Amino acid sequence: MEPLPSPLPPASRSWLLERLDSLLSESLRQGSPTELVRYRLVVGTACFFVVFNLLYTVAALLSGLPPYPSLAASLVYASVLLLTRRSATIEPPTALLLAAVSLVLIAASFEGHAPFVSTHAICTLIPVIAVYLSGARVGLFITLLLLVTLSLGYPLYVTFTHPTLPPPTPYLMWFGHLFAGLSLVGAWGVGSLHNAARDSAQGSLERTLKALQLSENKLSSLLESTDDPVLSLDKKGLMLTANSAARQLHFQRFGHEPVVGQPFWMEPERRQRWAPYVARVHAGQRERFEDEFEVGGSRRLMDISLSPLRDGEGRVVGLTLFARDITPRRQAEARLGELHRTLLDVSRQAGMAEIATGVLHNVGNTLNSVNVSTSLVMDRLRLSRVSSLARAAQLLREHTVDLPAFLTQDPRGLQFPAFLQALSEQLLEERNTLLQEMRSLSEGVEHIKSIVSMQQRHASSAGVREQVAMPVLIDEALRLHAASFEQLGIRVERDYAPVPLLSVDRHKLLQILVNLLSNARHALMDSPREDKRLSIGIQPAPDGERVLIEVKDNGVGIAPENLSRLFTQGFTTKRTGHGFGLHMSALAAEELHGRLTCNSPGPGQGATFTLELPLAEEPGPGPVSGGGSH
């Protein structure tokens, strides 16, 4: 059944409703469409009575009637409009409006001595407004008040008091009938306003219903498109809704689809296991847990989420169940864990191999110096004049009986003192040379021990820092290569600028210096130059916060395309090299919060390695610049 058309055109209704809504408070404008109809009717009725009483006041002034009651009524109705603009609820302005209409009409009847006031059109308008605005009980109270006061009380008052009634003049007749007609127009206006507000509310309600239906369709489409089972149950466990994934899973599990309105069937063990979760959900909490299901002959691990299902008043009336199959994810996590463990084992083995490579490389560099010192000692011992001393001792044993005559008369005995003096000088020289070589050999062995010890400490904790004088440490590194430098005719130049003591790991820095010197020695060995020269210098950096150690040679040099890969593990340009020395040195420089770089003009023009170290300790390692061995 379609609603009757409104007496007002759509454009007028829209304009009128906007004006009426502007007289409502913000909270009243946010009311439901049905409530908004009542709110608009209150302000519309109050506006009508303001205009009605203002016109009545003007007419009373012209006819000589007292204007004060109608003027006071206009102010009361204006107060109703002010109250609707400020009140958060409609009850206060509604009560004031109904009280004002009833009391003003009663007061005007007794004050104006209108003989037929109960027959006025406005008397039929007031009960209608009261019933609609405040309900049947309040409307009945207002109707009985007017009935008793105007239909019974006022006639009894006139009968027993005999007040002076105005003569029925044509003016009074026109006055009464015109305002009765105005009341009829007001009744029509109130009815039209009700229809307009109702139509607007109905249109808003229809739009809201369409929006809700569209939202429901979207939600239903979303739930149906997901592969995760979704369903809802009431507090008794009866099925309310279920998407296609839930119906399909239920069919695979039990052989039939779930039926709305019937109990959601579960095994007794599962129902007992879920009971604590369901109880907490019915208490208003959300629960999430995992459970296994056997579907199609395979085990599936499901992630279950239970949420309270509430009605419009917020009371829990059931629950919603969301399930997600996490079996593939758990299998992937298990494979990932296994892969992670394998990766840890491989990484540990790779780390052990790298440490072993570094140890072997650094020990090998030191063993070169040890081998040179050992060869020199063996050569010295092989050429030693100790055998001459043994022959002299044998000669003395042979002439034990005539030793004085042998030493004073025999030509060989006469040469014996000079021979012993010369032999002692040679043996003393050999002793000093052997001591020097043995000292170098001992330093090499000590360096090997420090390399092994450093790698052992590296496996458990960082190296110990100590105050180191750079010139002393560089000279120590040079002594490990001194014999090989002398044999190869390499001239070593030193240029030490004054720098403060450095707080570093002494053995780690010594390892870097030994590698750089060994690298320079190989570069000079492979060079055809006659003037082989190696210079090592110390100078402060321009910023004053770091110290620079430069190892420069005029050997074979480095090609530009190899500079970027120089510090890469395994890269080398030597036929017998393995590319670990410079890589390990660069890592060690990082651990000392420094940086190792290289510069070379090109092949045949030598190379310069620069080690930058901070004068003070820094919180983290610096970057490695450049790039294996040359």
Report which listed range, 261-265, 271-275, 373-377, is most confident.
Answer: 271-275
**What are the domain boundaries of the chain?**
10-209, 226-325, 349-459, 463-614
54-68, 206-220, 254-268: lowest mean pLDDT where? Answer: 206-220
Cβ neighbours of 488 (radius 10 Å): 12
**469-483 tens-digit pLDDT:** 889 888 888 877 766
Long-range contacts at 433-437 (CB < 8 A, ≥ 24 apart):
433/376, 433/380, 434/377, 434/380, 434/381, 437/373, 437/376, 437/377, 437/380, 437/483
Residue 247 pLDDT more than 90? no
Q: How much is the pLDDT for 280?
A: 92
Cβ neighbours of 361 (radius 10 Å): 23
- How far apart are alpha carbons 431 and 308 in whole angstroms? 97
**181-237 tens-digit pLDDT:** 555 555 555 555 555 555 565 556 566 667 767 766 776 776 677 778 888 888 888
- How far apart are alpha carbons 373 and 384 in whole angstroms? 16
Residue percentage of the chain with pLDDT more than 90: 7
For helices 327-382 and 506-525, the axis angle rounded to 10 degrees is 70
Looking from the CA of 403 toward its CB, the CA atoms found within 13 Å total 9
Residue 610 pLDDT more than 90? yes
**554-601 tens-digit pLDDT:** 999 988 888 888 888 777 776 665 567 788 888 889 988 899 999 998
SS (H, E, C) 21-49: HHCCCHHHHCCCHHHHHHHHHHHHHHHHH
- How far apart are alpha carbons 235 and 279 in whole angstroms? 10
More confident residue, 292 or 119: 292
Residue 388: closest CA among 426, 414, 428: 426
Q: How much is the pLDDT for 625?
A: 38
261-270, 295-304, 354-363: lowest mean pLDDT where? Answer: 354-363
**27-42 tens-digit pLDDT:** 888 877 777 777 777 8
CATH number of the 463-614 domain = 3.30.565.10
Q: In what order do the strands lie in the sheet with 595-599?
A: 491-496, 533-540, 546-553, 607-614, 595-599
Residue 368 pLDDT more than 90? no
- Cβ burial of 380 (10 Å; 0-12, 13-18, 19+) is middle
Instruction: Please state whether beta strands 533-540 and 491-496 pair in parallel, antiparallel, or not at all (unpaired).
Output: parallel
Mean pLDDT of the 352-377 span: 66
Same fold, 226-325 and 463-614: no
More confident residue, 234 or 19: 234
- How far apart are alpha carbons 335 and 328 in whole angstroms? 10
More confident residue, 354 or 4: 354
More confident residue, 300 or 594: 594
Residue 164 pLDDT more than 80? no
- Could you tell me the CA-to-CA distances from 298 to 293, 303, 622 in Å, in that order? 8, 16, 55
Report which listed range, 15-24, 61-70, 235-244, is most confident.
Answer: 235-244
Residue 127 pLDDT more than 70? yes
Residue 6 pLDDT more than 60? no
Distance of CA 40 to the CA centre of its chain: 50
Distance of CA 342 to the CA centre of its chain: 30
Instruction: Please state whether beta strands 466-468 and 491-496 pair in parallel, antiparallel, or not at all (unpaired).
Output: unpaired
Residue 78: closest CA among 104, 47, 99: 47
Residue 540: closest CA among 530, 532, 549, 551: 549
Mean pLDDT of the 496-520 span: 87
- In total, the chain counts a number of residues equal to 630
Do 407 and 413 meet the contact criterion of CB atoms below 8 Å apart?
A: yes
> Dihedral of CA 484/487/488/492: which sign?
positive
Long-range contacts at 12-15 (CB < 8 A, ≥ 24 apart):
13/196, 13/199, 13/200
Q: Look up the pTM and report it.
A: 0.34
Distance of CA 248 to the CA centre of its chain: 38
Plot region of 162 (φ>0 → left; ψ -120 to 50 → alpha; else → beta)? left
Tokens 């090499």 found at: 444
| 167: DSSP letter | P
The mean of the pLDDT values for the chain is 75
| CA geometry: angle 34, 36, 38, nearest 5 deg | 85
Residue 462 pLDDT more than 90? no
Residue 360 pLDDT more than 80? no
Q: How much is the pLDDT for 207?
A: 66
Which DSSP string corresponds to 7-19?
SS-HHHHHHHHHH
Q: How much is the pLDDT for 548?
A: 93
Mean pLDDT of the 43-55 span: 81
Q: How much is the pLDDT for 612?
A: 93
Q: How much is the pLDDT for 151?
A: 75
Do 394 and 547 meet the contact criterion of CB atoms below 8 Å apart?
A: no
Q: How much is the pLDDT for 90?
A: 81
Tokens 């109809």 found at: 37
136-150, 202-216, 255-269, 609-623: lowest mean pLDDT where? Answer: 202-216
Q: How much is the pLDDT for 611?
A: 94
Q: How much is the pLDDT for 308?
A: 92
**403-457 tens-digit pLDDT:** 777 777 777 777 777 777 777 777 777 777 777 777 777 777 777 776 666 655 5
**532-553 tens-digit pLDDT:** 999 999 999 888 889 999 999 9
Was domain 226-325 assigned CATH 3.30.450.20? yes
Residue 239 pLDDT more than 80? yes
Residue 540 parent element (H or E): strand 533-540
- How far apart are alpha carbons 573 and 598 in whole angstroms? 15
Do 478 and 517 meet the contact criterion of CB atoms below 8 Å apart?
A: yes
Q: How much is the pLDDT for 457?
A: 55
What is the pLDDT confidence band of residue 620, given thresholds at 50, 70 and 90?
very low
